[in-house]
Amino acid sequence: MITRRGFMTLVGGGFASFAALGGYAFAVEPLARLSIARYRVIPPGWTPGLKLRLVALADLHACEPWMPADRIISICKRANSLGGDAILLLGDYASGMNFVTRHVHSSEWSKALSTLQAPLGVHAVMGNHDWWEDRTAQKSGGGETFAHRALMGVGIEVHSNRAIRLEKDGFGFWIAGLEDQLALRPGKIWNRRRMAGLDDLDGTLAQVTDEAPVILLAHEPDIFPKVPPRVSLTLSGHTHGGQVRLAGYSPVVPSRFGDRYAYGHIVEEDRNLIVSGGLGCSIAPVRLGVPPEIVVVDLG
């Protein structure tokens, strides 16, 4: 039979453990950790002899104190050291939280991202928060956001339903980037009753003019069931791995598919998707079991 002292010790120990776990999730994992998630993929029909390394960054959500400009520069320095043939930015550069001491201006985070370097360039798509934080873009229902302009202003390729052909060692491949699938919020403007996307998968892939492999950048992974086998690899962010992921499961995921596309390498019907756990935080500055990460993908 447990004594009163034993009961109080048990309760006190449980409270201390809970407090320590909360402190870690709030102050350590989001701020002090940076992991490298590595994947090796040989998609069906991949060009023999084409060896390609892609380095991907997702969901920075620039703000202070969680993701200031100097931390972004440090992340970029680490990304540059990983030997990527191309560096891919998967959207959500703007903050998605109110728990901030200061919002980092697009001129600051884009200047930090301009330090990224790769032989085949730096390529970006937009995320939902890049659209949601731009009231002018919401009113116009399209066009360019401040995030588009900031990235293009520092020389970063922005793909808005656009595909381009690149070459490495004489072998061609395509990078195709979708505009965001949740770009326009509900509201009185344009009588929108639900989220509206500006993505055009068919139109983007129609720009591919040969049989070279296609790498698709899509901020939200929910597009994946519609992606044809012609695409060798789809890369996404958005979910943050749920921000809390324990025993390989995320209880809350911003996806209509729940945990199905929450994180990691997913293979369905010989089609490949990799979902990054991202770098920053959205809604609340908490991460547990899914530390900020840079993704490295070796193809071929």
Specify the pLDDT at position 99. 87
Residues of the chain above pLDDT 90, percent:
82
Distance CA 82, CA 42 (A): 20
Query: Looking at residue 83, what is its pLDDT?
Result: 98
Residue 7: inside a domain? no
Residue with tokens 């950790």: 33
49 and 299 Cβ atoms separated by less than 8 Å? no
Q: Give pLDDT, residue 21.
A: 43
Mean of all residue pLDDT scores within the chain: 90
How many domains would you assign to the chain? Answer: 1
Model pLDDT, residue 33: 81
Question: Considering the domain boundaries, does residue 230 fall inside one?
Answer: yes
Query: For the chain, what percentages of helix, strand and coil (3-state, to nearest 5) are there?
Result: 30, 25, 45
Question: Over the stretch 102-148, which tens digit does the pLDDT of each residue have?
Answer: 999 999 999 999 999 999 999 999 999 999 999 999 999 999 999 99
Q: Rounded to whole angstroms, how far apart are CA atoms 281 and 278?
A: 8
Within a domain: 20: no
Q: What is the DSSP letter of 233?
A: E
Q: Specify if 4 maps to a domain.
A: no
* Nearest of 186, 215, 25 to residue 123 by alpha carbon: 215
> For tokens 């202070």, what's the residue?
64
| Segment 53-85, tens digit of pLDDT | 999 999 999 999 999 999 999 999 999 999 999
Confidence at residue 15, expressed as pLDDT on a 0 to 100 scale: 38
- Regions in the chain scoring below 70 on pLDDT: 1-32, 188-192
Q: Which structural domain range is residue 71 located in?
A: 33-299
**Is 272 within a domain?**
yes
In this structure, is residue 12 part of a structural domain? Answer: no
Q: Cα 42 from chain centroid? A: 22
- State the pLDDT at residue 187: 75
Angle (nearest 5°) at CA 230 between 227 and 234: 50
Neighbours of 77 (CB within 10 A): 12
DSSP-derived 3-state class of residue 266: strand
SS3 state of residue 68: coil
In a domain, 19, yes or no: no
Indicate which CATH number applies to the domain containing 197.
3.60.21.10
Specify the pLDDT at position 2: 53
Q: In what order do the strands lie in the sheet with 35-41?
A: 35-41, 293-299, 52-57, 86-89, 122-124, 157-158
Supply the pLDDT for residue 28: 64
User: In the sheet where 214-217 sits, what is the strand order?
Assistant: 162-168, 171-177, 214-217, 233-236, 271-275, 264-268
Residue 26 pLDDT: 52
**Which residues lie below 8 Å from residue 74, measured CB to CB, with a gap of 6+?**
none
Please say whether the dihedral angle defined by the alpha carbons of residues 143, 145, 151 and 155, taken in this order, is positive or negative. positive
In this structure, is residue 13 part of a structural domain? no
